[in-house]
Amino acid sequence: MKKVLLTAVLAMGTLFVSAQDFLVTTSIEKDANDEYSMESFTNNLGFGYMVNEKFMAGITMQDATSDAVADSAGVITESIASEMQLFGRYYHSENLFAQLTTPWGSDVEGVSATDLMRLGVGYSVSVWNDLNVEANYSMLLSADANEDRKGAFNFGLSYKF
């Protein structure tokens, strides 16, 4: 389902590229085998639309995870609450931004989308034409089941069409 939606977004996005700015971003992370792979690259792909000079709205394929599921022994494990998320960015300057990310909903009982909202800041550095390297830090707005805000530091790439 993720691949079908990704293809549809790309197809529809190319119709608007000539009229508006369109941004493709990704978070580069290690997969379950502790390696960098193409799958970890495509699973964290996101697409944004510049509403004006300061605001961007978009969708990302990054999973929203929750620590709210406990097994019969009481051990809390991580589970995927949503496979896609919405994000918004406010650009303070051309390179410095604040970002809010939230899933559309939650598939985990007792966990709402607002429980999985992440707020962060980031910085983008142009490396070649419209290709950028981004670093950002984000954390949950509310603590999870382990009383942790799950702060995360990520590197990514972005390209502005």
78-85: average pLDDT: 79
pLDDT of amino acid 18: 42
Residue 17 has pLDDT above 60, yes or no: no
Q: Say how far apart CA 120 and CA 98 lie, in whole Å.
A: 6
- Which spans in the chain are helix H? 2-16, 38-42
Q: What is the pLDDT of residues 24-66, one digit of tens each?
A: 666 666 666 777 766 666 777 888 888 888 999 998 888 877 7
pTM of the model: 0.74
Q: What is the pLDDT of residues 96-119, one digit of tens each?
A: 999 999 998 887 777 778 888 999
Q: What is the pLDDT of residues 58-72, one digit of tens each?
A: 988 888 777 655 566
10-20: average pLDDT: 50
Residue 95 has pLDDT above 80, yes or no: yes
Q: Which residues contact 119 (CB under 8 A, 6 or more apart)?
A: 98, 99, 100, 138, 139, 141
Residue 116 — left, alpha, or beta (φ > 0 → left; ψ -120 to 50 → alpha)? alpha
Q: What percent of the chain has pLDDT over 70?
A: 68
Q: What percent of the chain has pLDDT over 90?
A: 23
Domains and CATH numbers, the chain: 2-12+21-160 (2.40.128)
Residue 157 has pLDDT above 80, yes or no: yes
Least confident of 67-76, 111-120, 129-138: 67-76
